Amino acid sequence: MGDAEMPSAETAATGRKSDLGIRLVSAAVMLVLAGMALYFGGMVLDSFIVIVALIAFVEFVLLVVKATGNISFRLAGILGGAVYIFVAAGVLAQMDSPSLILTLGVVIFTDTGAYLFGRTIGGPRIAPRISPSKTWAGLFGGMVCAALWLAAWTVSLHYFGSNYTFSALIDAMWGVALSVAMIGAGLAVVAQMGDFFESWLKRKAGVKDSSRLIPGHGGVLDRVDGLLSVALAVGILSPLL
């Protein structure tokens, strides 16, 4: 939003309430599309990932053009964005279904935990000039929820259906869950870094959203900013998960 004056808390709350229905419908449509792509898999899923990546890249290019005046910086930014977005998309396309669900879950639980803790606890903001809504409490909440999700998902993949006695299962779950939970907390930080990067770019470009493609949610890049960074991290850490 650049240097524009931030709306008052009352105005912002009224705006959120007024577009809540649109946001819910848009969220439902996005979930259905992503769920169908994941269900069918194969070429359908690959095509969905490519389409999302292409739209996100176009939005990224438009932001870079608005944010930069120097042609060299602009070209470097576009090239860097192409590598960042399409390498992350390639990692997602190569994941098997459990790994893809793991990655999506980390981002979803990070966002959910950050929202709940941030709204409930509030407190100091992390970087008010870049993203005024992000608080340290929200970051902690995102780390906790992502850690719980990753631990639960990994344990279920490794041990459910195995011939473990109850006590042996508890011991095995504790050992794996503790180490994997730490990775989950770290991935939550990575997701927030992806979010901050896009927020910084939008501030430089003087806009609130990457586009108006998704009613009530902004652009595609606004929805996948954390997913891109987490996908790259999961691709690197996959042997440990």
Q: What is the pLDDT of residues 13-48, one digit of tens each?
A: 444 445 667 878 888 888 899 989 989 989 999 999
Q: What is the predicted pLDDT for the residue at 153? A: 85
Output the pTM of the full model: 0.82
Could you state, in order of their start, the residue ranges of all structural domains in the chain? 9-240
Q: What is the pLDDT of residue 13?
A: 44
CB 42 within 8 A of CB 79: no
Query: With a cut of 50, which residues of the chain have pLDDT below it?
Result: 1-17
| pLDDT recorded at residue 162 | 57
Looking at residue 138, what is its pLDDT?
93
**Strand pairing partners for 214?**
218
Instruction: Please state the φ and ψ torsions of residue 19, each to the nearest 5 degrees.
Output: -105, 15
Structure confidence at residue 178 (pLDDT) = 77
Cα torsion angle, 129, 132, 136, 138, sign = negative
Please tell me the predicted confidence (pLDDT) of residue 93.
95
201, amino acid identity: L
Q: Which of 160, 161, 186, 170 is nearest to 240 (CA)?
A: 186
Phi, psi dihedrals of residue 120, rounded to the nearest 5°: -80, -45
pLDDT at 1: 37
